[in-house]
Amino acid sequence: MTRATVIGAGVAGLCVATELVRRGHDVTVFDPAPMPGPHHCSWWAGGMLAPFCEGETAEEPVVRLGQVSADWWESQGVPVTRRGTIVVTPGRDRRELDRFARRTRGHSLLDAGALAALEPDLAGRFDRALHVGEEAHLDPRAALRHLRTRLETDGVRFVAEQGRADGLTFDCRGLAARDALPALRGVKGEMAVLHAPDIRLTRPVRLLHPRFPLYAVPRADGHVMLGATQIESDDRRRRVRSVLELLSAAYALHPAFGEAELVEIGVDARPAFPDNLPRLIRRGDTIHVNGLFRHGFLLAPALARMAAELAFDGCKPEFYHEDHG
């Protein structure tokens, strides 16, 4: 049984630890937090497993590797809802939907009736929509808690103080690893959680808008998570303007959101490399697993597998990045 250390217990660290345990390694995880929480970037995630929609702007590996994520999370015992994604656009920006359809795949076009059949609460609001059938979503906070609890059950030690690393170290600190990885930058994202019992969505809905794009992801007990801002900054303050935009876009999606209770406003900066693709970087006994950008839950499973392959199988997987400094 080889010893291995993981630094960071966000989605990247927990997925790497899970992969290492599966391979029979003796794993210690360093992280100051006793449980997944607000200081992990992944705490603020949407939890959409939407590789095809992301393909609108993301590079090809995101679409391909993201397709294994729903199966992976489900195989870990995390509840995954497989009802696809709905994509809509306000009437006057209807050509946005055509552009989106051209640049993505895996979708079918719905007319108003078909949309109403899938999401009754959106009936009459949009005359057409896309349904991306093979996509899924999960509750990211529940998923993080589940992985962490299961790892502890499996004998993984979680240590708050970072001590001496044993064996190979997997550095999964996200933006905090900028001391070692200067190419990392923060891309700010704001989110809000509403309690909106008056409107029921059963799958993530993306509202395409030239200025204020939005996604709304259903959570348990009538809650909805709103997100989409993407700002080139590692500022972590919750800006009125961004929240205003999120809430206005939600109101455009359905006026019933106007009556919702504002439960939470969150913000964090996602770690990203210049190509917005994740990287595996090896330096001595340390392997950096970082740069998941807005694709933490989507790509962490594939990246964790690659990290283990790089460490123990002597291969150089897809996201292996030659270290030039």
Partner 1 sequence: MRVYETEIASRLMLGTAQYPSPATLAEAFRRSGAGIATVSVRREAGGERAGAAFWDLVRELGVTVLPNTAGCHSVREAVTTAQMARELFDTAWIKLEVIGHADTLQPDPFGLVEAARILTEDGFQVFPYTTEDVVLAERLLQAGCEVLMPWGAPIGTGLGLTNIYGLRTLRAQFPDVPMVVDAGLGLPSQATMAMEMGFDAVLLNTAVAKAGDPAAMAEGFARAVEAGRLAFEADPMEPRDMAAPSTPVIGKAFLS
CB of 208 to partner 1, least distance (A): 12
Site for partner 1 in 161-190 (CB under 8 A): 184-186, 188
Shorter beta-carbon distance to partner 1: residue 102 or 324: 102
Stretch of 113-121, 155-163, 252-260, 270-278 lying at the interface with partner 1 (CB under 8 A): 270-278
CB of 224 to partner 1, least distance (A): 26
CB of 156 to partner 1, least distance (A): 33
Which of 83, 128, 150, 239 lies at the binding interface for partner 1 (CB under 8 A)?
Answer: 239
CB 85 within 8 A of CB 135: yes
CB of 266 to partner 1, least distance (A): 16
Shorter beta-carbon distance to partner 1: residue 131 or 185: 185
CA angle 297, 301, 303 (to 5 degrees): 105
CB 199 within 8 A of CB 132: no
Work out the number of other CB atoms within 10 angstroms of the CB of residue 102: 9
CB of 276 to partner 1, least distance (A): 4
Cα gap 125→279, rounded to integer Å? 41
Shorter beta-carbon distance to partner 1: residue 93 or 121: 93
C-alpha dist (Å) from residue 225 to 87, 97, 251, 263:
16, 22, 13, 10
Shorter beta-carbon distance to partner 1: residue 22 or 237: 237
Site for partner 1 in 203-232 (CB under 8 A): 210-211, 231-232
CB of 237 to partner 1, least distance (A): 6
Which of 22, 39, 64, 103 lies at the binding interface for partner 1 (CB under 8 A)?
Answer: 103
CB of 279 to partner 1, least distance (A): 12
Shorter beta-carbon distance to partner 1: residue 36 or 90: 90
Shorter beta-carbon distance to partner 1: residue 84 or 213: 213
Which of 37, 57, 261, 313 lies at the binding interface for partner 1 (CB under 8 A)?
Answer: 57
C-alpha dist (Å) from residue 239 to 160, 193, 195, 214, 265:
31, 15, 21, 16, 10
Number of shown-chain residues binding partner 1 (CB under 8 A): 23
CB of 324 to partner 1, least distance (A): 14
CB of 100 to partner 1, least distance (A): 11
Instruction: Name the nearest CA neighbour of 291 among 274, 306, 307.
Output: 274
Which of 58, 156, 193, 306 lies at the binding interface for partner 1 (CB under 8 A)?
Answer: 58
Which of 275, 285, 313, 323 lies at the binding interface for partner 1 (CB under 8 A)?
Answer: 275
Which of 235, 259, 261, 323 lies at the binding interface for partner 1 (CB under 8 A)?
Answer: 235
Residues that bind partner 1 (CB under 8 A): 57-59, 102-103, 184-186, 188, 210-211, 231-235, 237, 239, 272, 274-277
